Every structure is written in C-alpha cells, then in structure tokens.
Amino acid sequence: MGCIQMGSLYFQIASLFYLSLITIIYCKKQKRKTLENRIYFGLIGITFITLLLDMASVTLAIVNPTHIFANPLCKLYLVGILGWVFLFTYYIFIISSKKNKSDDNGNLNKSSRNYFKKIFFILLAIYIISSIIIMSIPLNIYSDHNLMYTYGPSAIFSYAVTGVCVVFWLVMMLFNYKEIKDKKYLPAFAFIVLATISVIIQATFPEILLVTSAATFITVLTYFTIENPDLKLINELNLAKEQAEKANNAKSEFLSSMSHEIRTPLNAIVGFSQALSEEEISNEAKEEVNDIIMASENLLEIVNGILDISKIEASKLEIVNTEYEPMKILEELVALTRSRLGEKPIEFRTSFDPLLPKTLYGDYMRIKQIALNLLTNAVKYTKTGYIEFRVSSIKKENVCRLIISVEDSGIGIQQDKIDKLFTKFERFDIEKNITIEGTGLGLAITKKLVELMNGKIVVQSVYGKGSKFTVAIDQQIVLTPTASSPEVIPQEDPIDLSVLAGKKVLIVDDNKINLKVASRLLKDYNVKTVEADSGFECINRILQKEEYDLILLDDMMPKMSGVETLKKLKEIDTFHTPTIALTANAISGMKEKYLAEGFNDYLSKPIDRKELNRVIRKFLNTK
C-alpha cells in the first residue's frame, strides 16, 4: 500500500485555492439574478464538488485501490466532471441563443424562460442517463504508489460524452459565427485547447491529472467573461440618468414658462402695433410700425419653436387627430410661401397629386407645421432659381401615405453636416448665412414631429446646388366625413360693422396690459368692451345679470383659472354667452383641449388679427 504524497494532488490543491478566491470575490459582488449568473453559481458548486471528489478518489485509490469505495468514488468523480461539462454546455447554449434578451432589469420574458427551462430539463435528463451508465459499467483503476489513473469502459464513455458536448459547442459557435469574437466564447475555446493539451499530457504522463484543474481554470476564466454588470455601477448610472432627466425636465419647464412669459409682452407689442398701423399715421411711421410687427412675428416664431421643443422633450406634445381636407391645407401653404417669397427672383413650382383623398384623418396642424418649416427653409436658403413643392400619395386600403417634398436650388448642405441637420441649435455656414435669421430649431422640431406621427424624413443635398427634403407620413382616409368636419376655413367676407354696433364683449384677464390690448383691438369693430381682471369679477358680473354677446376668457389666471371660471359660469342657469378661451400657451392641441372643456372657440396670444376676425364673424356678425 502506497502512502500518498502531496505532489499527486498539487494541481487540485492549487485549483481549490484559486477557486475559493474567485468564489469569495464573486459572492461579495452585488449582482443581478440573471440566468447566466445562476448557471455560474452552479458551475462554481460543481467545480468544488468535483475537486473534492477528485482529491478523495485519488487519495483512496493510492492508499487502498481495492477498497470497496475506491471504484464508486472514481466513478462519482467522472459523474461530477460530466456534470460540469453539461452545465457548461447549457451556458454555451444560453449565450448563443437569440432568445437570451433580457430587459433593463436583467429579466427574461416568459416564453424565453420557459424555453430555457425546457432545454435545461432535456440536458439534465441526458446527464442523468449518462451518469447511470457511468456508474453501471466497469471502471479500471491503475494505482502504483503515487501514481493513479482510471481507464476502461466507464472512463471511455465519459470522455465520449464530453466529446459530443464539445462538438455541440462548436456547432453553437458556428451558428453564431458573427459573434465568435465575443469574449463570452473565450472559456469554451480555452477548454477545447486545454482539454486537448490535457489528453496529450495524460497519454504521455498518466500520473498528471489535469482534467479537474482545466475545468477549474475555465470556471475561473468564465468569471471574467460572464455578462455580469456591476450592480453598484448600474445603480449609480440609474441615479445619474434620473438626475439628468430631472434637470432636462426642469429646463423644459423653464423654457416653457419663459416662452409663455415672453408671449405676454409680445401680445402688447403686436396688438398695439397692429392697432397703430390701422390708424391715420404718416407713411414713414406706418413702415416703422410694420417693421415692429414683422420683428415681433419673428420673435414669436422663435418663442413658438422653443415652446414646441421643450414640450417635445418633456413628452408633453401630443398628436391631435381630426378630419381635414388636405387640399385646403396645401392651398394655405402655397399662399403663405408666396407671401414669404416676396420679391425674391425664385420660381415657385407646385405639383399636387390629383388623386389625393378629399378628406384625411390626422394632425393637420402638425403636417402644416412640418411642410411650412421645410418651405420656409427653402425660401431662406435660396437666392435664385426655383423651389418645388410636391405632394404625392400612395394608398393602401384606408391608409394614405402622404409624400411631401420640398426641393430648392439654394445653397445646399455639405455632406458631413447632413447628420447634424436635425440637431437642435445646429446651424451651418454661419458666415455665409449671417443675414439669414434662424435658431436651428426648425428641423429638430420637424424631425421630432415626423417621428411622433410614425413618419420618415430624408434629405438629399448637393452643396452649392440645392437640397431636397422628403417627408412620408401615413394618414387615415375618411370615406364619409362626419358632419362637424372637416375644419371649415371661413371665407373672408367683410365684417358688417353696423351689425356689431351695440354688441357687448367681456374681456377677462389678470394682466392689465393684456386687457388694454384686447380692448384696443376690439375698438376697431365698433363693439362695447368691459374689462374684468379675475374669474371672480367675471362671475359676479354675470350673476348681477349683466348681459354680454361674447366673453374672451384668459385661462392662465392666478386663484381661478379660465377653465374653472367657465365651469362656475355654466352652473348659472341663465348663462348662455359664447365664451372664447385666451391663452399664451399656444401649442397644438390646445384648441381641442379648450373645446373639450366647454369653450366655444380659442384664441392664442398675441391675438392674430385674422383669427380675431374669424371669431368676431362667427359669434358677433349676426343680426
């Protein structure tokens, strides 16, 4: 009987040492409960068991090879090593599977979980059968002093099963040949190489038992390749993300309230300038007043842009779908573009699909905004030549894909700038375009709006020659328009001032200047105006049986908002006066919101003369 020397177990003891180290490190680290992590735990456990079985069987076989437990212990060791091979096979399968897609928390979806469970049980079944075979067929032990190894059918069988598993790994890797460089496969490659080396070494020096050490080494190596994001880091990143989102929201809120604040004084500037321009003043003064109006309108456009982008960024901008007539929108766009072109020597061509459906369902305000942004840019960045505005359509069942393109022979955009085109506040060729006004917000908003409507926008441009922007957006086709739609754009009949004489309008706004502007604008219509600086005053006047033909009611008032005021007014039995919502928070969807609140119509501040005409015509121009 031989006496065991530590030298025979040198590799196993070393393996046990570094496996313990990696286990401590692994357990101390915070981690997510992913499938890969669980398998890794299993691998560590099996490696420990196998190492202990290895050491016990070697010791016993050397000390007493004929001992009753020596043979079963050696077989158990083979079963252990095969368990490691199967678990590793499962790991390779998981990392190769397309279904291994976890969410942000590392959880798999239910169908993937069930699928992996099934595979696990299939592998487990094969493993159990293989283990029974290993335990039942003969195993020979060679033992001579410090030298011991096993051979015979049981050993050959376990090597054969391992070989089949390795072939399976290779097949899995081949299926994923694109990701073969993925570091996750490194342990599998390392195992194949190490196993080959171990087999060669063992064939020459049978006393050097390397298999368990190879498995341990691979288990340790897997620690470095397993997808195991640091939880601490993730928590920190999540916190940073949350803070960034908070800061972004705060910025959006700030921009939104700022643009609201800017609108209020603008309301006064535009309102009084408009009133002034209609007075008997010298031509020079008229020109100057018109310049003030134009500059205010530019400022208003910028404020609107900021408001839009901040609403989009805070995900507060909604798409409001209604029925509309696309042709009418296109006509409006053409008229607007022509007026913007002014005296510029540019040929404005239009080409509209004659088969465009008569009525569509979608957010026409936003479609108009998108097309207008592109047309305005074409006008801004083209000196001479042409601008072509095309609209075609592709119909499929009840969906109409609107393809809107705006082509110009303008300054064009450099290829390397195209990627940044839709980034907010990006403007190009600043030196060249120094005289062209802009904020770099238009295209950023356009792209976001197109995306909100699930559409696409593409740009083709040759620097110095011109650009073409194409937008594709799907809209529903309406075959039988409902009675209330489409949006009627009233004809510009002259307003009969004699009819308006004696009509009474109540203006409600907490801001004194706004009250003054509205009164001033209404003065031109021959109507009598009464001012109220709060919702309470408005309600009191109605309760005192004062009669009005129209109420212009500001929404954003302290203490009692316009919406609340209207609610209270509606509780008064005798109250039937048409009420118009007034707001400086002019984003799309507002009109629908106020109509839903019970208002009869909506006006945004600064009050647009045309819009005011429309409202007066609709509610007061009746005998």
Q: Which residues bind ligand ADP (CB under 6 A)?
A: 377-378, 380-381, 408, 410-413, 421, 426-429, 433, 438-444, 467
Please say whether the beta carbons of 446 and 374 come within 8 A: yes
Which residue's CB is nearer to ligand ADP, number 141 or number 441? 441
Sequence letter at residue 569: L
Which residue's CB is nearer to ligand ADP, number 1 or number 434? 434
User: What distance in Å separates the CA atoms of residue 89 and residue 218, rounded to the nearest whole number?
Assistant: 13
Q: For the chain, what is the total number of helices (H) and then of strands (E)?
A: 18, 14
Which residue's CB is nearer to ligand ADP, number 100 or number 439? 439
Give min distance, CB of 435 to ligand ADP, in A: 12
Please say whether the beta carbons of 81 and 191 come within 8 A: no
User: What distance in Å separates the CA atoms of residue 583 and residue 69, rounded to the nearest whole number?
Assistant: 91
Residue 238: CB atoms within 10 Å: 11
User: What distance in Å separates the CA atoms of residue 475 and residue 453, rounded to the nearest whole number?
Assistant: 9
Give min distance, CB of 44 to ligand ADP, in A: 56
Give min distance, CB of 295 to ligand ADP, in A: 16
Give min distance, CB of 383 to ligand ADP, in A: 11
Give min distance, CB of 527 to ligand ADP, in A: 39
Please say whether the beta carbons of 595 and 602 come within 8 A: yes
8, 402, 438, 453 from 456: Cα distances, Å: 70, 11, 23, 9
Give min distance, CB of 442 to ligand ADP, in A: 3
Give min distance, CB of 412 to ligand ADP, in A: 6
Give min distance, CB of 246 to ligand ADP, in A: 27
Please say whether the beta carbons of 508 and 548 come within 8 A: no
Please say whether the beta carbons of 605 and 581 come within 8 A: no
Terminus-to-terminus CA distance in the chain, angstroms? 125
Both tokens of residue 9?
């177990």
Sequence letter at residue 220: V
Both tokens of residue 104?
């942000």
Please say whether the beta carbons of 445 and 373 come within 8 A: yes
Give min distance, CB of 522 to ligand ADP, in A: 34
Give min distance, CB of 333 to ligand ADP, in A: 16
Which residue's CB is nearer to ligand ADP, number 35 or number 444? 444
Which residue's CB is nearer to ligand ADP, number 392 or number 433? 433
Which residue's CB is nearer to ligand ADP, number 52 or number 459? 459
Residue with tokens 């500059």: 295
Which residue's CB is nearer to ligand ADP, number 207 or number 388? 388
Give min distance, CB of 382 to ligand ADP, in A: 7
Contacts (Cβ under 8 Å, ≥6 apart) of 333: 368, 371, 372, 375, 389
Closest CA to 127 of 179, 164, 177: 164
Which residue's CB is nearer to ligand ADP, number 198 or number 259? 259
Which residue's CB is nearer to ligand ADP, number 53 or number 387? 387
Which residue's CB is nearer to ligand ADP, number 210 or number 378? 378
Contacts (Cβ under 8 Å, ≥6 apart) of 396: none
Which residue's CB is nearer to ligand ADP, number 220 or number 411? 411
Q: Where are the alpha helices (DSSP H) in 453-572?
A: 497-500, 512-523, 535-543, 562-570
